[in-house]
Amino acid sequence: MRTAMAFTLRSLTPLGIFCMVPLLSRCESTAQLDAHSEDDAGGEGGAQEGGSTGGDDGDSETETPTSPVEGEFPVAAVAGPAPTPPMGWNSWNKLGCGRISASRVREAADAMVDSGMREAGYQFINIDDCWSTEERTEEGLLATDSKKFPDGIRVVADYVHEKGLKIGIYSDRGNTTCARRMASRGNEVLDAKTFADWGIDYLKYDNCDYVSDDSNGHNLDEDLMRTEFGLMSEALKESGRDIVYSVCAWRFYEWAVPLGSLWRTTNDITDEWSSIGPIIEKNGVELAAYAGPNQWNDPDMLEVGNGGMTSEEYRTHFGMWAMMSAPLIAGNDLSQMDQETIDILTNKEVIAVDQDLLAVQGVRVKKEGTTSVWVKPLGEFGARAVALLNQGNDVQDISFTLRDANLTGSSAKVRDLWRKSSLDDMKSDFTARVAPHSMLMLKLVGHEPELPSGNVQLSAMDWVYAANANGPVEKNQANGSNAADDGDRISLDGTEYETGLGVAPGSLLMYRLGKKCDRFRADAGVDDQVGDSGSVAFQVIGDDKVLYQSDVVTGADAPLELNVDVTGIYRLKLRVTNGMDGNLKDIASWANARLRCED
Ligand code: GAL
């Protein structure tokens, strides 16, 4: 594995610059170095090559500041097959079609335990394409390739289960899989039953549907795809076993959301840095609003440890997948990992960001050239993960403010999650120098926005979280294009509104109510800005329960008059989706959106 120089530098206090890594000539003062380092245990000393995290595993988490409203933001795991993004290993990225075998799958299970990955949260051992033959058995069942899996799949499944792990398998909605093995079209119920009989816990269902034997083209008719992915979704529900359903349609389709626990949002990842940026752009910017418990965007499996990127690039890849609440499915040879790969894949503080029970996907709050700042609120009171990402080829200073992280107050505790070390408290802003292709990943613990009181407009409140497909959510104006403050007056079916929120679906907003409110009201609809075209659906969610779900409404419809009981709710989520019509460029408004709360 190649390694890159990584160095980060923290600055911006009135006193000057604080250095995290004693590498840069600008970081000269030992007093300054001492000033910000509280509980580092060797992480920085070992950071010169690839920003190694040092051996600080047992380090304590950032303390939560004492707060009179502590506990008003409790989160709990939601029931279902994938309350947090699935974690595991899949055979494809490393073994492909040729090298998959029962012994390699067992080896991966052994290594998942021995390397500490199971302990870090990884669960699934997933067999990808090429476990089956090109024909069905005489009984019409999927047939296992006996050269690769001489004792069948059930024996391997038992082995994996005995290790305290779960097992996944692969099939396809078409006649054949992508590697032209037998697939499940027309046999969905039977195959789901077979998988359940074998003890399968996870199915990745692919999208290949070759138009002919000698062409690599596929029939991607959307109605057909939707129907066929749906058939397997139903079949799994009827199979008698809880099986996580991973829809692999190579890009995001809204109809996949109710079908699967996760859905691929992009084409296949490759083991090179140039593959990472476009995936982040698609999965991270446009689709964040769709993520939540049991519904995850899947930017594809990990390449960490496969050799085509530097350690620093792998850290960035893994860290950004965690920021995006992505499934963490390792794709390397687990039996041949060097320590650095293990350290990346098992960094518990980074994994905790991915697995956080608040279960919202991080969003990009700032972009300047090739640098960006990403924020993901966490379940712990006042906590945010913040990523400072440098995708460019030069060292860059990257800054953010407490406001960017939707925190109030004038300071926050800061912890560097890759180095596993606490830094000085930040004041209103923070700057770091970030190496090329690198990220600084922080956990902040600061002050949540105030709870609402009395009758209050949402546009007068601070949100905890805002995901929007195009530019920022606008207050008291419609969502224009991707710049801030660029919308017209909110207008629904000819009526103009002074107040409200303008969004570009998929959009998801989250506010703290702290059990203080009993009513949420709004007029909601497609904004007149897009005329009669456009179709969206509105969802009001209280503590992960759907309190209100609209039908699809179009620009020609009168606004919905929402009046939702939010009694006893800690946090309110408002989601707008795109009406399942494949058009992801709608504009919607929550007009006159208001809460009735205790004084
Ligand atoms: C692709 C899929 C890959 C892998 C491969 C197997 O369609 O995106 O992740 O499963 O098929 O043939």
Q: What pLDDT shows up at residue 59?
A: 40
Most confident of 140-144, 215-219, 484-488: 140-144
Is there an atom of ligand 1 within 6 Å of 206 CB?
yes
Cα-based distances in Å from 68 to 65, 71, 358, 448: 10, 9, 21, 12
Q: How far is the CA of 572 from the centre of ligand 1 (A)?
A: 38
Q: What pLDDT shows up at residue 208?
A: 98
Go through the chain and tell me how many residues it has: 599
What does the mean pLDDT of the chain come to?
Answer: 89
Q: What pLDDT shows up at residue 26?
A: 26
Residue 109 has pLDDT above 60, yes or no: yes
Q: What pLDDT shows up at residue 165?
A: 98
Is there an atom of ligand 1 within 6 Å of 303 CB?
no
Residue 57 has pLDDT above 60, yes or no: no
Q: What pLDDT shows up at residue 585?
A: 67
d(CA 567, CA 520): 9
Is there an atom of ligand 1 within 6 Å of 268 CB?
yes
Is there an atom of ligand 1 within 6 Å of 129 CB?
yes
Is there an atom of ligand 1 within 6 Å of 56 CB?
no
Nearest to 539 by CA among 225, 295, 323: 295
3-state secondary structure of 492: strand
Per residue in 538-555, pLDDT (tens digit) is 999 999 999 999 999 999
d(CA 1, CA 344): 13
Nearest to 297 by CA among 269, 258, 324: 324
Q: What pLDDT shows up at residue 77?
A: 87
What percent of the chain has pLDDT above 90? 83
Residue 73 has pLDDT above 50, yes or no: yes
- Give, for ligand 1, the residue of 126, 130, 206, 266 to mutate: max count of ligand atoms closer than 8 Å to Cβ: 206
Residue 320 has pLDDT above 80, yes or no: yes
Q: What pLDDT shows up at residue 586?
A: 87
At position 467, the amino acid (one-letter code) is A
Is there an atom of ligand 1 within 6 Å of 92 CB?
yes
Q: What pLDDT shows up at residue 584?
A: 63
Q: What pLDDT shows up at residue 581?
A: 77
d(CA 182, CA 174): 9
- Give, for ligand 1, the residue of 129, 202, 262, 301 to mutate: max count of ligand atoms closer than 8 Å to Cβ: 129
Q: Which residue has the tokens 């991966």?
A: 108
Is there an atom of ligand 1 within 6 Å of 120 CB?
no
Helix (H) or strand (E) holding 434: strand 429-434
- Give, for ligand 1, the residue of 178, 269, 270 to mutate: max count of ligand atoms closer than 8 Å to Cβ: 178
Q: What pLDDT shows up at residue 214?
A: 87
Residue 503 has pLDDT above 50, yes or no: yes
Would you say 530 and 558 are in contact if contact means Cβ atoms under 8 Å apart?
A: no
Most confident of 24-38, 67-81, 314-328: 314-328
At position 286, the amino acid (one-letter code) is E
Q: How far is the CA of 334 from the centre of ligand 1 (A)?
A: 20
112 Cβ contact partners less than 8 Å away, ≥ 6 residues apart: 88, 89, 118, 122, 125, 163, 165, 334
Atom 4 in ligand 1: residue holding the nearest Cα: 92
Is there an atom of ligand 1 within 6 Å of 172 CB?
no
- Give, for ligand 1, the residue of 92, 145, 171, 229 to mutate: max count of ligand atoms closer than 8 Å to Cβ: 92
Q: How far is the CA of 168 from the centre of ligand 1 (A)?
A: 14
For the CA of 178, the nearest atom of ligand 1: 12
Phi, psi of 160 (to 5 degrees): -65, -40
> Can you tell me the mean pLDDT for 103-110?
98
Residues 280-314, buried b or exposed e (16+ Cβ, 10 A)?
A: bebbbbbbbbbbbbbbbbbbbbbbbbbeebbbbbb
Is there an atom of ligand 1 within 6 Å of 128 CB?
yes
Is there an atom of ligand 1 within 6 Å of 178 CB?
yes
> Can you tell me the mean pLDDT for 149-178?
98
User: Would residue 197 show up in a list of annotated catalytic residues for this protein?
Assistant: no
Q: What pLDDT shows up at residue 76?
A: 84
d(CA 352, CA 598): 34
Catalytic residue among 206, 356, 527, 528: 206
pLDDT band of residue 593 (cuts 50, 70, 90) is very high
Residue 29 has pLDDT above 90, yes or no: no
Q: How far is the CA of 206 from the centre of ligand 1 (A)?
A: 7
Q: How far is the CA of 178 from the centre of ligand 1 (A)?
A: 6
Largest Cα separation within the chain, whole Å, is 78
Helix (H) or strand (E) holding 466: strand 465-468
For the CA of 204, the nearest atom of ligand 1: 10
Atom 6 in ligand 1: residue holding the nearest Cα: 129
User: Would residue 268 show up in a list of annotated catalytic residues for this protein?
Assistant: yes
DSSP code, position 272: S
Task: Say which range, 12-26, 50-64, 179-193, 572-586, has the weakest mean pLDDT.
Answer: 12-26
Atom 1 in ligand 1: residue holding the nearest Cα: 178
> Can you tell me the mean pLDDT for 35-55?
30
Nearest to 577 by CA among 535, 542, 516: 535
Q: What pLDDT shows up at residue 524?
A: 98
Atom 11 in ligand 1: residue holding the nearest Cα: 178
Atom 3 in ligand 1: residue holding the nearest Cα: 268
Is there an atom of ligand 1 within 6 Å of 218 CB?
no
Q: How far is the CA of 267 from the centre of ligand 1 (A)?
A: 9
User: How many other β-carbons are positioned within 10 Å of the β-carbon of residue 85?
Assistant: 26
pLDDT band of residue 51 (cuts 50, 70, 90) is very low
Cα-based distances in Å from 124 to 113, 161, 227, 459, 552: 11, 10, 27, 43, 36
Catalytic residue among 57, 110, 158, 268: 268
Is there an atom of ligand 1 within 6 Å of 188 CB?
no
For the CA of 207, the nearest atom of ligand 1: 7
Is there an atom of ligand 1 within 6 Å of 248 CB?
yes
Atom 9 in ligand 1: residue holding the nearest Cα: 268
Q: What pLDDT shows up at residue 72?
A: 58
| Tokens coding 486 | 């660029």
Is there an atom of ligand 1 within 6 Å of 343 CB?
no
